[in-house]
């Protein structure tokens, strides 16, 4: 039986050609909180430390998706996994809005994928409610998906559960997340959260053309959710992927179109 005991900074020689020490194949461990917040993943530090952009996702023992350690051995463990950061979590998000940009856009939905299969209760397929004076758009659906993902991740920052730590046998307390990566195929979402949004705030929520920033209400709610996770010691980074690499969240978003609308704004504004 595979031991679930986390390895802490366990490294083994020899070093590779970059001069770094390689973690052995089963050295799943806590990495701690990355510096900064709202950066693009994988960042320069990850790649400069010897990591690469292949096999960045490692499915853990609880079927959550974790960040592969940038010092991981090129070989997988006998369990089929690369060494990963057990205090990290990758969550995929997507939005759906049939007829976007036309009069046919009368409904939208969002999908949040934590892992395993679509029927797993951790995954979310939610219909976005109608709001007076607001149109359904793909951009708003993408933002709702990200807000929902951050809200749903709160409990893993507060109490852990994304990794099956054996408490108190090997760990004094459950392993809480300190690094959350939001995976999306929306350049609008990722590019804004890793760059433009700071300029918008500085300019009083005006664009470089001095026009009001679209969807300001959702951007502000998204920032509040990031700020709440920050108080819990969690860094939130953003990962832009091709659409074909985000099919799980896309499938959930489309399934959400058939659900009854929820009062998302009331639910997702809690605790911020």
Identify the CATH number of the domain in which residue 189 sits: 3.30.420.10
Give the residue from 270, 244, 271, 267 showing the smallest Cα distance to 128: 267
Q: Residue 6: its pLDDT value, please?
A: 34
Lowest pLDDT segment from 7-16, 78-87, 170-179, 182-191: 7-16
Q: Please give the residue that has the higher pLDDT: either 262 or 259.
A: 259
Residue 11, pLDDT above cutoff 80: no
Q: What range does the domain containing 94 cover? A: 1-262
**pLDDT(4) > 80:** no
pLDDT tens track for 106-137: 999 999 999 987 678 899 999 999 999 999 99
Q: Does a structural domain hold residue 75? A: yes
State the pairing for strand pair 179-184/124-128.
unpaired
CA distance 43 to 36: 11
Whether 63 is in a domain gets the answer yes
**How buried is 171 (Cβ within 10 angstroms: 0-12 exposed, 13-18 middle, 19+ buried)?**
middle
Does residue 187 sit within a domain?
yes
Q: How many separate domains does the chain show?
A: 1
Separation of alpha carbons 144 and 112, rounded Å: 10
Does residue 168 carry a pLDDT above 80?
Answer: no
Domain presence at residue 272: no
Q: Considering the domain boundaries, does residue 270 fall inside one?
A: no
In a domain, 267, yes or no: no
On whether residue 149 sits in a domain, the answer given is yes
The closest of 59, 56, 55 to 41, measured between CA atoms, is 56
Task: Return the pLDDT at 23.
Answer: 52
Q: Global pTM?
A: 0.87
Tokens representing 38? Answer: 């709202």
Is pLDDT at 24 greater than 60 in this prediction? Answer: no
């Amino acid at each position: 039986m595979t031991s679930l005991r986390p390895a802490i900074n366990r490294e083994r020689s020899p070093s590779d050609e970059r001069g770094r020490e390689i973690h052995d194949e089963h050295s799943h461990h806590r990495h701690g909180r990355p510096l900064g917040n709202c950066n693009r993943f994988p960042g320069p530090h990850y790649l400069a430390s010897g990591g690469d952009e292949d096999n960045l996702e490692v499915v853990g023992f609880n079927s959550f998706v974790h960040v592969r350690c940038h010092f991981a051995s090129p070989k997988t463990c006998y369990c089929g996994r690369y060494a990963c950061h057990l205090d990290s979590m990758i969550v995929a998000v997507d939005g759906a809005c049939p007829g976007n940009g036309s009069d046919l856009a009368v409904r939208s939905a969002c999908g949040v994928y934590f892992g395993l299969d679509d029927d797993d209760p951790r995954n979310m397929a939610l219909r976005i409610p109608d709001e007076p004076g607001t149109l359904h758009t793909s951009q708003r659906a993408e933002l709702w998906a990200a807000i929902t993902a951050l809200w749903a991740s709160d409990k893993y920052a507060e109490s852990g559960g994304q990794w099956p730590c054996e408490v108190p046998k090997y760990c004094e307390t459950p392993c809480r997340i300190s690094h959350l990566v939001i995976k999306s195929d929306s350049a609008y979402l990722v590019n804004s959260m890793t760059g433009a949004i700071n300029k918008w705030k500085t300019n009083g929520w005006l664009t470089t053309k001095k026009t009001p920033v679209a969807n300001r209400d959702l951007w502000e709610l998204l920032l509040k959710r990031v700020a709440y996770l920050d108080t819990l010691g969690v860094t939130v980074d953003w990962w832009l992927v091709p659409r074909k690499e985000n099919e799980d969240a896309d499938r959930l978003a489309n399934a959400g179109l058939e659900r009854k609308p929820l009062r998302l704004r009331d639910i997702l504004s809690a605790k911020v």
